[in-house]
Amino acid sequence: AELCKRVLDAGKRAVDLSADFRLRDADTYAHWYKHTHPFPELLDEAVYGLPELYRRDIADAQVVGNPGCYPTSIILGALPLLELGALADPVVIADSKSGVSGAGRKPSQTSHFVEVNESLAPYNIGHVHRHVPEIEQEINALWRVKSAESSDASLDTPLSTLQILFSPHLLPISRGMLSMLYVKLTPQAAQHDWHSIYTKRYEGEPFVR
């Protein structure tokens, strides 16, 4: 954030690769990252850098918060479901797996070769991983809009908060990430051809195949 502030003060635009401009709420940031945001006034003007969702806003933004790796895989996976109001229950389960490079550069016992090789290890299970608020921030923005618009009687709690149950795992591969999402669909949505829906939603998106 300190470096971005210098860039902005110099009249330039910034794309921040850390987590300092991913969350919109300073208190949420302080809770999850255990320190006070140095420039909370910039959070209101920062744009979450997911072009499949915020392309127009990114084009005009002075500061862009580059999305996290797990959140990108989960948000893009859930996006078509949320845009069509297809969820019958306010819970998304994400079973995610990452290569070792996704564990960061800081050496630790769990990322040593002898610990990772021929192994599969869960970590930060449940609702404790730092990427949780980032994921929930973005999926709830769509969930609230679509739930309020929905006339589907199967949505028992249309204005409740959507919660992510996130289970990340470390795989013995160098890089790569896979997120499998589990959701409960409305009866109507369960009849949709979701392969075609996803293909159409991401048609023309250069970063999604």
SS3 7: helix
* Contacts with 135 (C-beta within 8 Å, 6 or more apart), sequence order: 70, 71, 74, 75, 94, 164, 166
Over 104-164, what HEC string results?
CCCCCHHHCHHHHCCCCEECCCECCCCCHHHHHHHHHHHHHHHHHHCCCCCCCCCCCCCEE
Number of other CB atoms surrounding residue 162 within 10 Å: 22
Contact by Cβ (8 Å): 161, 43: no
SS3 92: strand
- H-helix or E-strand spanning residue 26: helix 26-33
Contact by Cβ (8 Å): 74, 164: yes
Rounded Cα gap, residues 3 and 17, in angstroms: 11
Which sequence positions are flagged as catalytic? 69
